[in-house]
Amino acid sequence: MSAAPIPQLPGQLGDPQMEMKDDPRADPRMIAALAQFGLDRTPPPAGVDANSSMDDLYAYCTAAEAGFEMVGGALCGAVAPVSGVTSRTEIIKGVDGNDIALYIHRPDGDTGPLPCIVHTHGGGMVLLKGSGPNYVRWRDELAQAGMIAVGVEFRNGGGELGNHPFPAGLNDCASAVQWVHDNRDSLGISKIVVSGESGGGNLSIATGLKANKEGWIDKIDGIYAQCPYISNEWAEKSTALPSLFENDNYFLNVSSMGALAKLYDPEGANSSDPLCWPYVATNADLAGLPPHVISVNELDPLRDEGLAFFHKLLQAGVPAVGRTVNGTCHAGDCLLRDSLPDVYLATIGNIKSFADTL
């Protein structure tokens, strides 16, 4: 009697040469959309890593920012503009004395009170802008679903809005949340949820941790973090996080994540600070936080740090829901509006449902 076949491990754990385009778990619509930019396969070497000079890292960040801005706009450019939503820009003063642009989107004709999503955009805390077309679209969709969306144009560690390492961007996000809270009545807000993806997932979680540490956590009703970039375990991949091996070079390259981390924390002085890298938070740091959703993507190198953080929240007694969006790459459910509309809108709906339960 022949032995049962041994199941093959997923992704590059089973085949080190596996490319995302050949992974049977990948949504074919996603692969077709990313193929036009060559993002369905292993990317060429980034040329930088955590050991690169700061000058080389800043140059890489500037070039990467331009590329991601182009791709982000292209992936949401085919569908009709969102209707029934009005937006405006408010300039506030941050805790560090700097000006911060807030992009406020709300559904037409609905005076509230409505739940508010304070959105912290992705980009590893070091690149991209809240004014980018894919983020404008995201906030419009949140507003059309029946929420007020406030995008924070925080300072970055590099790129056009750099060079401002930790804690500059976090301070801006915290200032934005406190301003929104102070203006709840005039904005017509019922609840405040801080939410973002990737680097924005880091900042949304870290804003909650900062508020908890400083004693103003009552101003935040919930946190919804998508594919959070929180571990700082990329320069030397941690075996505690198998997705770093399983999904390396699937849209993201792990070594380049380590490079971006150096821009955010140049000397590595904050590697054990949960406000910089929430993955290292202890039960004492987490106790007393409001409800969380941690949403991850199946084919993301960062998947397992998000799931590990979800389990930490549960161990600390924080109400939390873990969610995995199958078949998608890093941030695929908020990036691929044209090709994965059902997946994209399911996440919008899940954010609205979460806000409504608070």
Nearest CA among 118, 78, 11 for reference residue 340: 78
Q: Which residues pair with 223 in a beta bridge?
A: 194, 292
Give 284: exposed, middle or buried? Use CB within 10 Å, 0-12, 13-18, 19+: exposed
Q: How many residues does the chain have?
A: 358
150: enclosing H helix or E strand: strand 148-153
pLDDT at 7 over 70: no
Domain ranges (residues) in the chain: 48-357
Can you tell me the mean pLDDT for 228-254?
93
Collapsing DSSP to helix, strand or coil, 90 comes out as strand
Cα 286 to its chain centre, rounded Å, is 19
- Count each helix (H run) and each strand (E run) in the chain, helices first: 13, 8
Q: What is the pLDDT of residue 46?
A: 85
- The whole-model pTM stands at 0.97
Residue-wise pLDDT tens digits, 294-344 = 999 999 999 999 999 999 999 999 999 999 999 999 999 999 999 999 999
Q: What is the pLDDT of residue 45?
A: 85
Average pLDDT value for the chain: 95
Q: What is the pLDDT of residue 4?
A: 60
pLDDT at 49 over 90: no
Q: Are strands 99-107 and 148-153 parallel, antiparallel or unpaired?
A: antiparallel
Q: What is the pLDDT of residue 312?
A: 98
* C-beta separation of 292 from 320 below 8 A: yes
Q: What is the fold, at CATH topology level, of the domain defined by 48-357?
A: Rossmann fold (3.40.50)
Strands (E), 235-355: 292-297, 320-325
Residue-wise pLDDT tens digits, 97-127 = 999 999 999 999 887 799 999 999 999 999 9
Nearest CA among 21, 65, 67 for reference residue 329: 21
